[in-house]
Structure 1
Amino acid sequence: MIRRYFFTITVCAVSFCAVLAQSTQKPPLHGKHWMSITGKPLAATAGSMIFQQGGNAVDAACAMLAATCTMWDVLSWGGETQALIYNPINGKVLAINALGVAPSGATVSFFKDKGYAFPPEYGPLAAVTPGTPGGLCYMLAEYGTLSLEEVLAPAMEMARGYPIDAQTANSIERNKERIKEWPYSKAVFLPHAGGQREAPAAGEIFVQEDLLHTLDKMVEAEQEAIRQGKDRKEAIKAAQDRFYKGDIAEEFVRGSREQGGLITLEDLAGWEPIEEVPLHTTYKDIEVYKLQEWTQGPMLLQALNILENFDLQEMGYNSARYIHTIYQSMNLAFADRDFYYGDPYFSPESPIRGLLSKEYARARSKEIRQDKNDNRVMPGNPYAYEGKNNPYEALLKQRSHLTDTTIIDPEVKDFVPRHDAGRYIVDDERFYHAEISSVNGYQDRLYQDRLTRGTTSIVAADKEGWVVSVTPSGGWIPACIAGRTGIGMSQRMQSFVLDSILNPFNVVEPGKRPRVTLTPSLALKDGRPFLAFAVQGGDTQEQNLLQFFLNVVEFGMTVQQASEAANINSNQLWLSLGGIRFEDRMPRPGSILLRQDTKKEVIYELKKMGYEIQLGNRTSGPINAIFLDNEHGSFWGGSSNHGEDYGIGW
């Protein structure tokens, strides 16, 4: 039997979990002193090294962030960092906004004149200013305990040379033709240029001399400041300034502009990370915290507010009714995300107070039909719940005609993740069969890449009470490296739109942050840390995290069970990444991904409701999570059973 350590749950849920406990592919992690989990085993080890040196969870999270960037775990040092931190000193959750901004010259007319419907996916024109170096320095200075030199030590050793993993090495080889477009990227990623395999082989020692020199310069700046009598915080800020205002910035800008980029020295010098008050809601007396509406994080809060109006336990885990209700709730929240979310530091001001009101959620919940999927779900009117008139009523009417997606192109229905071993198609006789050949081919592979375009996730906790959840990203392979810095530039510009009809809050503008998919999560119960959870995967992130949370809270799963449990993925949303045409990003109403072991009766019922069903081997996303077992004074860790995510506890 499973220990009932959350709260009283139904006999049905206990029975379900007792069966599931036998089937997890990875054991849960346990620790009493600390826990570190992230997307690469070596990076998790970096976090454990910092803990063993006496660092706290913030120190360890910063070390894991530095290591994952150095290992190119679908991100680089030139990307962006988003974090939630529980501070045990004051008992509050704080948010770190270390997302870069659109550079000077990044205007709607600039991109439209080049024929784009969205900013490009790759290359120097896809880059916002780097956010990760500043975000790491800020978190470490304000809430860590160690020096930058100590925290960067594992990453710097990796930059000197580490045995590259197969996933990264093979990604470089697959993307080598694009990498060759950028001279500095080619020099770093293709050590065997001209050979049959030009990328490093798995296990080969991968050396990054330019990146090592960049990190050395930051540590030098810290040490020089200490010699001048500066305190720890001031010394770390000196390292940050050398990156954004010194010789590192000069080389970054030179290398970027040489390759056609827009970032200027003024753009870098004027950027700073921001500490914010996070948004939150309550679900069954559990406080759930997310970042502000410059991310898609509030979408999870909206969905929870809607789902609070239904008896999910009574429906049963992944029954047809449950799946339908989850899908419809996400549809409503995604429709609002796609139109109302954007940088809160720019006008217009998002109606976030209305979007997160319980009254608005109750009204939205009544829009859900119980018998079929709603192909025409639209953004709601949150302004009414702020006592205001909606200034976008006319725009919304235009948008409803522009985005008529009631017809799904039969050639582009398949969206099973590429990591799945095979594709499964549901036939009309209530059975499914393996599809060996690629029917829809290249277009579907591109779409799935855009839907689930990855990042990494980091969670850490310690016995002093510090808890951290981070979802960094940007500068993924194939990355355009800026000069001799060794730093891959962000590709986050593509998350802007160029037309108000799609989202008037997220139109590109110099100095503005794009609305991103990146979304760490923290939850408190009885005022104490309860869960830290995060996941990679583009537009699927909030979908997977929503179901993970419900798996724990509604169905009593451990974090390991919940991270491996079968989820659903929806495509009824505007994609946030990839493609420069409207057609590349339009919603696919009714498209749903289920795990291949879904009961045939459930599949049949969903088909009757109008869903286009695909099946895959794994549908839960690479979730990383820590449960704070306050009853026993220990940690439970969960790390997904696919990908390379890994954790260590003590």
Structure 2
Amino acid sequence: MRKIYLFVFLILSWKGLAQGLPGLGAGTTPNNRPTLHGKNWVAITGKPLAATAGAQIFNQGGNAIDAACAMIAATSTMWDVLSWGGETQALIYHPKEKKVIAINALGYAPTGATVEFFKGQGMDYPPQYGPLSATTPGTPGGIMTMLAEYGTMSLEQVLKPAMDLAKGYPMEAQTSNTIEAQKNRIKQWPYSKKVFLPHLGEEHEGPVAGEIFVQEDLYQTLAKLVEAERSALKAGKSRKDAIYAAYDRFYKGDIAKEIVRGTREQGGLFTESDLANWKVKIEEPLHVNYKGIEVYKLQEWTQGPALLQSLNILENFDLKSMGYNSANYIHTVYQAMSLAFADRDFYYGDPAFVQSPMKGLLSKEYAKERAKLIGDRNNPSITAGDPYPFQGETNPNLEILSKTKNAMASRSENEINQDVDEEFLIDFQKGTTSVQAADAEGWVVSVTPSGGWIPAVIAGNTGVGLSQRMQSFVLDPNLNPYNLPEPGKRPRVTLTPSLAMKDGKPFLSFAVQGGDSQDQNLLQLFLNVVEFGMEIQEATEAPNFNSYQMQSSFGDHEIRPGAITLRVDTPDWVRKDLLKRGYSMDFWNKTSGPINAIWFDWKHGTFWGGSSNYGDDYGIAW
């Protein structure tokens, strides 16, 4: 009976949304969570405690960079589907320079990590778990570089909330359940077992919900960073140089030595030079203009440009006239994403090693040619296009591209029409967290830190959980000749913060967790606001759809053409239409993903914060 009531409630909710979305004013749709309103600052992230950390920093006079760094540190300490050995990538709006800056703090492949090495281990892909899945730690460097270059506070001030959490915080049920579910893997690694399983031999071996979870090793590692900063300040160093002294201790000092020792002891490949030679990169982001709005994403070492390509393709259609989440709208956006993600799967990689054809991929002319491929039915044989002529060059991988097209076209009906199972979905939507912060001075930060989720290998006695990002490489050049592992190379990742500018001012800052679904949910959020006039909280909660017609970036890198997840309240007439178009559907109660976003109200000089009702994510504004 409860299921029936829930279904009726959802149907009624959908009817209200469907009748009222276009053009309705703020507050007319019954959101599950309230919009966050602030005039001084806003801080949103993956856990309420971590959002509180950001609020503490703002209340102490910090700017949005300081607060964002504190929130990244806090979520990493709380294992919010990431940890300290993971990676951090960010887009920052610099109000004084009036430009968007990109932060690349993704670790790279260690010495010995080659195609030949992994194939010699009998692997088709680098492993999902364990020390051989780890890239070098990036998050500590990302935090310290952002803070040193653009923040105002000391590292000690910004790390204090995380250090308080490391000394002990009440475990949430979500993390407790994850530890318990993964405890057999955790037991393979001695330092992980020591941290995660304080009740070995009992029925519930990890911390239970509400129990104080203590991470003494991690606390000592963070204390060493603070100690390095203090010593540098005492020696007369500037705030910036003192933070970089802590950076050097992590990557070149005793912390680095213990990370390398502990990783190699457990079968990893790290060397001290791997950590010492790694650097955070401050880069120029990529961007396209969509109907007068400049949308910014990180470079092609992420999947971010796929959202930009999707917007370029969709600019050739009148989406608003189709109606929000009509069958025609869903089909058109699905096909546009399939075309963009096919290019992602084949062309994206680390530009420090291989130059992807980004000029061609992001050209409006190429998008028009891709848009012509959208017919009335789902096309399960979509593959990458050839953007090279659109930048005046010849494609060096035409032979490989031809093989890929032939392979896709020759697949059997059974290979195409596959339902999505639970294991596939877990791999496809690997979690992370997101951080959004903005302040009255004009700083805006959009971050998608990740890596080192449970079950993570902890590197020796540091408390630092290592990334699992190596699995995003492929070992077969026929899949992607641009994304093959080499020492010092960064894998192409799913992590993808977003910033949009309008009339030279910040318009929308947005990010979401969820692996390969990230730029799908972010694309739909953006269209919800721009095409359908949704208020930001409404837009974060609105029903999205998720496609699996792209290579998963995890596990066995599967692809499920035509598979689509819709919300349970999708009307019968839409379902029937999509079925005729060749889609294989499943239905969830919530489909937005845990989107966090800030919309900038320049008319009133205020911030509107949104955080979907999908998970634990939430924020605070003032």
TM-score category by the smaller chain?
over 0.9
Q: CA deviation at 1:407?
A: 3.9
Counterpart in 2 of 1:560? 537
For the Cα contact (< 8 Å) 2:521–2:592, is it kept in 1? yes
Counterpart in 2 of 1:392? 397
For the Cα contact (< 8 Å) 2:86–2:451, is it kept in 1? yes
Taking the aligned partners of 1:16 and 1:91, their CA distance within structure 2 comes to 31
For the Cα contact (< 8 Å) 2:383–2:408, is it kept in 1? no
Q: CA deviation at 1:446?
A: 1.4
Q: CA deviation at 1:480?
A: 0.5
For the Cα contact (< 8 Å) 1:343–1:515, is it kept in 2? yes
The aligned runs of 1:196-215 (5 Å cut-off) are: 196-215=203-222
Taking the aligned partners of 1:180 and 1:339, their CA distance within structure 2 comes to 37
The aligned runs of 1:557-636 (5 Å cut-off) are: 557-579=534-556, 585-636=557-608
Counterpart in 1 of 2:462? 485
1:523-579 deviations in whole A, cap 9, x for unaligned? 001000011100000000000000000000000001101100011100100110123
Q: Once structures 1 and 2 are overlaid, which stretch shifts more, 544-553 or 614-623?
A: 614-623
Q: For 1:537, which of 514, 521, 527 is the aligned residue? A: 514
Amino acid at match of 1:483: G
Q: For 1:129, which of 131, 136, 149 is the aligned residue? A: 136
1:592-646 deviations in whole A, cap 9, x for unaligned? 1111101110110111111111111111110000001111000000001021001
Taking the aligned partners of 2:76 and 2:330, their CA distance within structure 1 comes to 36
The alignment yields a C-alpha RMSD, in angstroms, of 1.5
Amino acid at match of 2:406: H
For the Cα contact (< 8 Å) 1:335–1:379, is it kept in 2? yes
For the Cα contact (< 8 Å) 1:506–1:514, is it kept in 2? yes
The aligned runs of 1:99-110 (5 Å cut-off) are: 99-110=106-117
Q: CA deviation at 1:647?
A: 0.3
Counterpart in 1 of 2:197? 190
For the Cα contact (< 8 Å) 2:176–2:206, is it kept in 1? yes
Amino acid at match of 1:329: A
The 3-state SS of whatever aligns with 1:30 is strand
Q: For 1:313, which of 314, 320, 326 is the aligned residue? A: 320
Unaligned regions of 5+ residues in structure 2, if any? 1-17
Taking the aligned partners of 2:474 and 2:117, their CA distance within structure 1 comes to 13
Q: CA deviation at 1:213?
A: 0.4
Q: CA deviation at 1:406?
A: 4.7
Report whether the alignment pairs 1:551 with 2:528: yes
Q: For 2:382, which of 377, 380, 391 is the aligned residue? A: 377
Q: For 1:28, which of 9, 30, 35 is the aligned residue? A: 35
Report whether the alignment pairs 1:322 with 2:329: yes
Q: For 1:355, which of 361, 371, 376 is the aligned residue? A: 361
Q: CA deviation at 1:22?
A: 2.7
1:479-499 deviations in whole A, cap 9, x for unaligned? 000000000000000000111
- Indicate how the Cα distance of structure 1 residues 448 and 137 shifts in structure 2: closer, same or farther if over 3 A, else same: same
Taking the aligned partners of 1:161 and 1:405, their CA distance within structure 2 comes to 56
Report whether the alignment pairs 1:244 with 2:251: yes
1:112-132 deviations in whole A, cap 9, x for unaligned? 011111100000000000000
Counterpart in 2 of 1:299? 306
Counterpart in 2 of 1:431? none
1:25-55 deviations in whole A, cap 9, x for unaligned? 1111100000000000000000000000000
Amino acid at match of 1:55: G
Taking the aligned partners of 2:372 and 2:515, their CA distance within structure 1 comes to 29
The 3-state SS of whatever aligns with 2:296 is strand
1:436-482 deviations in whole A, cap 9, x for unaligned? xxxxxxxx221111110000000000000000000000000000000
Taking the aligned partners of 1:624 and 1:286, their CA distance within structure 2 comes to 19
Counterpart in 1 of 2:10? none
- Indicate how the Cα distance of structure 1 residues 178 and 411 shifts in structure 2: closer, same or farther if over 3 A, else same: farther
Amino acid at match of 1:373: N
Amino acid at match of 1:573: M
The aligned runs of 1:392-431 (5 Å cut-off) are: 392-404=397-409, 406-407=411-412, 409=414, 413-415=418-420
**Number of equivalenced pairs:** 605
- Indicate how the Cα distance of structure 1 residues 398 and 20 shifts in structure 2: closer, same or farther if over 3 A, else same: farther
1:384-442 deviations in whole A, cap 9, x for unaligned? 10111111111111122334575464899343xxxxxxxxxxxxxxxxxxxxxxxxxxx
Amino acid at match of 2:562: G
- Indicate how the Cα distance of structure 1 residues 184 and 409 shifts in structure 2: closer, same or farther if over 3 A, else same: farther
1:246-270 deviations in whole A, cap 9, x for unaligned? 0000000000000000011000000
The 3-state SS of whatever aligns with 2:161 is helix
Report whether the alignment pairs 1:225 with 2:202: no
Amino acid at match of 1:187: K
Taking the aligned partners of 2:417 and 2:181, their CA distance within structure 1 comes to 23
The 3-state SS of whatever aligns with 1:626 is strand
Unaligned regions of 5+ residues in structure 1, if any? 1-10, 416-443, 580-584
The 3-state SS of whatever aligns with 2:406 is helix
For the Cα contact (< 8 Å) 1:211–1:486, is it kept in 2? yes
Taking the aligned partners of 1:337 and 1:21, their CA distance within structure 2 comes to 38
Report whether the alignment pairs 1:476 with 2:453: yes
The 3-state SS of whatever aligns with 2:245 is helix
Taking the aligned partners of 1:110 and 1:297, their CA distance within structure 2 comes to 29
Amino acid at match of 1:488: G
Q: CA deviation at 1:23?
A: 2.6
Counterpart in 2 of 1:508? 485
For the Cα contact (< 8 Å) 1:406–1:589, is it kept in 2? no
Q: For 1:179, which of 171, 179, 186 is the aligned residue? A: 186
- The TM-score normalised by the length of structure 2 is 0.96
